[in-house]
Amino acid sequence: MGSTYGKIFNISTFGESHGKAIGVVIDGCPAGVKFNEEFIQNELDKRKPGQSRITTQRKEADSFQVLSGVFEGHTTGTPIALVIFNEDQRSKDYGHIADKFRPSHADYTYSAKYGNRDYRGGGRSSARETAARVAAGAIAKEILASVGIEISAYVNQVGKLKLDKSYQELDLSQTYSNAVRCPDATMAEEMFNYIDETRKKGDSIGGVITCVAKGVPAGWGEPVFDKLHAELGKAMLSINAVKGFDYGSGFDGTELYGSEHNDAFYTDQDGKVKTKTNHAGGILGGISSGEDIYFRVAFKPTATIMKDQDSVNEAGDAVTVSGKGRHDPCVLPRAVPIVEAMTALVLVDFFLRSKADKV
């Protein structure tokens, strides 16, 4: 019972990796939003498999259908149902792991929790579900864009390869110009080669995505539990393979003194309250400050590898999980649009919640 997210802009996703379809119902999207099918498809295309040789070769067009909630090109305020029928199901690929627990996958824990488990391709635990989030996130992005908010994520680290530049030093419009989704061309090439070598070895590798949201006005976020960064953290951690989240100065900031870390306020020439530095990451006390919001998301190496591994089966017997099938040697490139989508879903919900702040 955890497949819904959002208090007002409320999404419910459904679907398994190799079931009939995946999709999402959005209950609480305001009426009158221009519905841009092309933009949604474009977002889905950024996430879809088979885009380069460093992503899984599963073939899915990921084209979606709108079942409800849209009329004459605009949202009507009623639930929007979007569905993507699965095409390349190839369930036969999974017969060999039907009763085996793949290491570091969710097979065992789903089994422990539910008993009854759709083992094909990870079933519900597959990252395939995130296509539904990207579709919903695209609508959220459109609403946010209409109030001047832009969200940009990019790959900041792959394995030990780290981009040694802050987001301000990068041209974020270049992120989607390469298969890795790193806005720095030189580093993108290095990362590509590194991932490709990892792939050839039948192995996988982790990394870090950085995300920036510009244009968020001061005042969004709902302390004390639904702090803006707490919901961003939850949303990011809900993405497959994510192991960590920090914002602003994050883990690095723990080594600083307060006198170094505090962001001094000043008033700019337009009379707007600003801060000289932004260790806060655009969020103070769980509420946006009007400065850029930025955060990092840590991804573990893909659990699926092309090597034999020791494991057990449902009966508890020792078995070998052999490395075959299709997989992403590094989930980061395809995760970039997912991070953006989840960010948009969090922000749009706080945008709508903020409307009730004052009488």
Closest of 145, 134, 19, 151 to residue 82, by C-alpha? 134
User: What is the helix (H) or strand (E) element at residue 26, kind and residue range?
Assistant: strand 21-27
Nearer to a second copy, 10 or 174 (CB): 10
Near a second copy in 301-320, by CB under 8 A: 301-305, 307, 309-312, 316-318
Size of the site for a second copy (CB under 8 A): 157
Near a second copy in 94-113, by CB under 8 A: 101, 103-106, 108-110, 112-113
In the set 90, 218, 292, 326, which binds a second copy (CB under 8 A)?
218
Distance of CA 19 to the CA centre of its chain: 22
Near a second copy in 181-200, by CB under 8 A: 198
In the set 38, 116, 173, 186, which binds a second copy (CB under 8 A)?
116
HSE, side-chain direction, 13 A CA sphere, residue 153: 28
As a whole number of angstroms, the distance between CA 212 and CA 218 comes to 16
In the set 219, 292, 325, 326, which binds a second copy (CB under 8 A)?
219
Near a second copy in 55-84, by CB under 8 A: 65-69, 71-72, 74-81, 83
Near a second copy in 265-284, by CB under 8 A: 265-267, 271, 273, 275, 279-281, 283-284
Closest of 340, 243, 233 to residue 283, by C-alpha? 233
Q: How many CB atoms lie within 10 A of CB 163?
A: 23
Tell the residue number behind the tokens 């883990």, with chain if given. Answer: 251
Instruction: Report the DSSP pairing between strands 265-267 and 283-284.
Output: unpaired
Residues 6+ apart with CB under 8 A from 114: none
In the set 117, 141, 181, 334, which binds a second copy (CB under 8 A)?
117
Point out which span in 22-30, 37-45, 52-60, 180-188 binds a second copy (CB under 8 A): 22-30
Site mask, a second copy, residues 136-175, x = CB under 8 A? -------x--x----------x-xx---------------
Nearer to a second copy, 2 or 173 (CB): 2
Cβ density class 78-92: b for 16+ within 10 Å, e for less: eebbbbbbbeebeee
Nearer to a second copy, 61 or 218 (CB): 218
Point out which span in 48-56, 169-177, 186-194, 263-271 binds a second copy (CB under 8 A): 263-271
Q: Measure the CA angle with vertex 134, ends 330 and 59; round to 5°.
A: 55
Distance of CA 133 to the CA centre of its chain: 8
Amino acid, single-letter form, for residue 321: V
- Least Å distance, CB 51 to a second copy, is 20
- Cβ atoms of 9 and 352 closer than 8 Å: yes
- Least Å distance, CB 196 to a second copy, is 14
Near a second copy in 284-303, by CB under 8 A: 284-290, 296, 298-303
